[in-house]
Structure 1
């Protein structure tokens, strides 16, 4: 079979003149239905808007630990870096978790486009504010503003469900993890390369007092430019597919086929965010403290290379794997690879301490970790599809994605502080040789694998969605 036929429980608003909640007049075998071409311009705009969040989120990762040390909040104690860096990273998702559900519900009432424009404008302003912050409290306020004003992470998934139908929904949603992966290429690359431009390009930026004072403004400006350009594209080209409505009560979406994927989304977001935070933190920490002593630019290059590879995996490997294994098997298999990714951290630390440097053995294990992380990332596509496939009706798309994103954002808010604090505690108290954080997270992964058994083995068909809603 060439395409996986995903019949959402929602009613896509393009490519068809009828509400797809109604059963087809002449039942047809799903494998024989022609695939509706994806609306290329609308798809491009939605994906470009989605790109703004991972760039804004990850651009600070290569330099946030160094920034925390430079502003003096740690008092010169390198072991405390994880506490403060984790707080900055967490605040984006903490404030997003508080507001994203309301942004999603608002998009159900007034439309997707106005909410998306507000979110992009807010991301750009708050990113620029972060770049000129010189004190810790300023960083905190800027990061909070980024999260509070960003409702697009859930709204774009609602738009994706509306511009696709049952024949091409899997292909459309397969792009979302790829876009996040692309953002994780661009964001760390920008952060790693453009931080401290006065040192990298002393003959140009080094002559400007502004960049000597605000050493991290340039990467923040570059990240904000994506949000600004996405704002322009959305304003001009995005068609509003959502008609105004009164919205739906939250209790109407609290059904198993929605709740089960959302719970798994929470586990996935927590574990993935923890790994994303621990990578640059462990890579940048000195070898004698359990890290690898890699430079900021090297960390950016590593994360960039992983992002490029992940983009290809999502485009070319995810759709056939989903067809072959189904959402539950693929999710469980992918999520289990986080165990491998986490277990390689203490192994790299041990090898680096023994050799006193990052030798070829450490690099082999690091590459193995990145490969395991590539496999694990397929879990995102499964969850995105399961959440939208389980939505009871079109009017609940914004609320469903908002609730899902609230759960994921809450976990992503907790994960950086939890993982980075556990990292620091493990080192300070030499818990399990300074590696306790990794084994604790492995236990969380096991819990997520148990939750994964509640996911549907097959996606809802058009007819079964109608039967459940009637």
Structure 2
């Protein structure tokens, strides 16, 4: 077979390369953590598969909808709660109610995302993605016109219950990437998230209260009665447009997946192996392929990958909840006292810097350091990030005014956040690689997203509640003797998350050291037996 016919045959690229190199065993990878996806020096490196940019573009467009809908509320949610008759005018209680609203999306998503992921293995990815976009459109619009606490809760719950896209998108990306493109593709997921997390706060900060800020453009009672409807409507329109785009352009892949997939060929060896798998025979239906019991899906590698990903998501969402609360709260309540537009701008800078860095730096760093080292460094960055919060508060001094030192500390926190955010790309790779076999990719991502959704459900509420508790302790600390007690009580929230961050670094150390290429076209069960 000549090279041209081999390229155009139905055989996967990895098998064609294997034949040229002297058989499939020649492609076995003897890797180190520093070079996780490189071949032996005496074996030709696999040809790079072109990225399917058309399908990736649509998936990224869909992925953008979730951070937009979740992050658009952060600049104004605390003020929105404070304006409602539920806190009794007590600003210290603001964090409790804001945290419950922020968490309600993830609570309902945690209850349903595994169902949507498993259903996508049966009916296909495309219908589930379309339904998720419809849910985001309706719920975001309803949130903007909700005037009661329970109306806000119901809107967020509806959004989470109908949206299983986070896990389904990762599964679909697993079907259209291979070992030569995984780092580049997975590195773009956090970029898309951060793009949405950049644009969302800007929309929420600058389009809130349009009746007061742009009276000539938004006159009338409606915009005065619903000051936060405009940013929600803008995001809902984006979701509706994405729904139309997806309906016409997204191609279904589930009937023939997985043509390219990572899989674990030896669950007991502590080694994750990466490779192409053959397209299933016509007699194997999507339903038959997705029925691997959960007890067999939850291999040790799957469990540790999910645990570390969940801890990362918990710390990240807690940070995202604390950051706007810290920036918004007055200095007497342990914050910096920024206004809503400035909060939106600061959050946008955080996420924009991270997105640019991810797009440019992750793939080269991945090839140089490997996934595990990047993961460990990313987790470690949480420790100084949390330390900087009380440092910024202390830098205000007695006059409680922002000074140059405060801005330097805030800039340093942005830099550390950018480094930390690389951990998500590593987490995606580990979860994808840990799938027990080629046909459990959907349920593996569903389980991972369930853990992440639980973390994102309890993260905002616990973080903001701890912040409120710290404020209450600080305000009552004048009755207690000792500077140490006052300082420890006022910073209780940061101390707890520093300890969790240390535990996260320890957890990442338990991940497998090596990522290896498996034999081309080999399908295996959870015990490593060839099917």
TM-score by length of 1: 0.93
| Pair 1:209-2:221 in alignment | yes
Q: Match of 2:377?
A: 333
Which one has a larger percent helix, Structure 1 or Structure 2?
Answer: 1
- Deviation for aligned residue 1:224: 1.1
SS at match of 1:74: coil
TM-score relative to the length of structure 2? 0.83
Q: How far does residue 392 in structure 1 lie from its aligned partner after superposition?
A: 2.0
Residues in 1 aligned to 2:241 and 2:444: alpha-carbon distance in whole angstroms: 28
Residue pairs, 1:366-377, within 5 angstroms: 366-377=410-421
Gaps of 5+ in 1: 1-14
- Contact 2:437–2:523 (Cα < 8 Å) also in 1: no
Tell me what 1:72 maps to: 85
Contact between 1:93 and 1:409, CA under 8 Å: does it hold in 2?
yes
Aligned positions, number: 455
Give the C-alpha shift of residue 394 in structure 1.
2.8
Classify the secondary structure of the residue corresponding to 1:460: strand
Matched residue, 2:388 = 344
Aligned to 2:246: 234
The runs of 4+ residues in structure 1 deviating greater than 2 Å are 15-31, 462-470
Contact residue 100 and residue 461 of structure 2 kept, 8 A: yes
- In 2, Cα distance between equivalents of 1:80 and 1:18: 62
Q: 2:287 aligns with which of 240, 245, 255?
A: 245
What is the correspondence of 1:105-254 to structure 2 with a 5 Å cutoff?
Answer: 105-205=118-218, 207-243=219-255, 244-246=286-288, 247-248=290-291, 249-254=293-298
Alignment of 1:250-329 (within 5 A): 250-329=294-373
Deviations 1:147-167 (A, max 9, x none): 111100000000111111221
Q: For residues 442 and 289 of structure 1, what CA distance do their matches in structure 2 show?
A: 21
Moved more, 161-170 or 130-139: 161-170
Q: For 1:18 and 1:392, locate their aligned partners in 2 and report how far apart those are by CA, in whole Å.
A: 23
1:22 and 1:466 in contact (8 A); partners too: no
What is the match of residue 490 of structure 2? 434
- Identify if the C-alpha distance between structure 1 residues 22 and 149 changes in structure 2 by more than 3 Å, giving closer, same or farther: farther
Q: Which runs of 5+ in 2 are unaligned?
A: 1-7, 28-37, 40-44, 256-285, 475-485
Answer whether contact 2:438 2:523 (CA < 8 A) is retained: no
Asked if the contact 1:111–1:240 (Cα under 8 Å) also holds between the matched residues in 2, the reply is yes
SS in 2 for 1:294: coil
Whose radius of gyration is greater, 1 or 2? Answer: 2
Q: Distance in 2 between matches of 1:256 and 1:16?
A: 37
- Mapped to 1, the partners of 2:513 and 2:221 lie a distance apart of 59
Cα distance between partner residues in 1 of 2:125 and 2:456: 24
CA contact (8 A) 1:288 1:353 kept: no
| Residues 409, 386 of structure 1: alpha-carbon distance in 2 compared, 3 angstrom cutoff | same
Q: In structure 2, how many angstroms separate the alpha carbons of the residues matched to 1:19 and 1:158?
A: 19
Farther-moved stretch of structure 1 (31-40 vs 138-147): 31-40
The answer for the alignment partner of 1:8 in structure 2 is none
Alpha-carbon separation, structure 2, partners of 1:47 and 1:294: 32
How many angstroms apart in 2 are the aligned matches of 1:99 and 1:389?
23
- Give the CA RMSD over aligned residues: 1.8
Q: For 1:388-407, what aligned pairs fall within 5 Å after superposition?
A: 388-407=432-451
* Deviation of 1:174 (Å): 1.0
Moved more, 99-108 or 168-177: 168-177
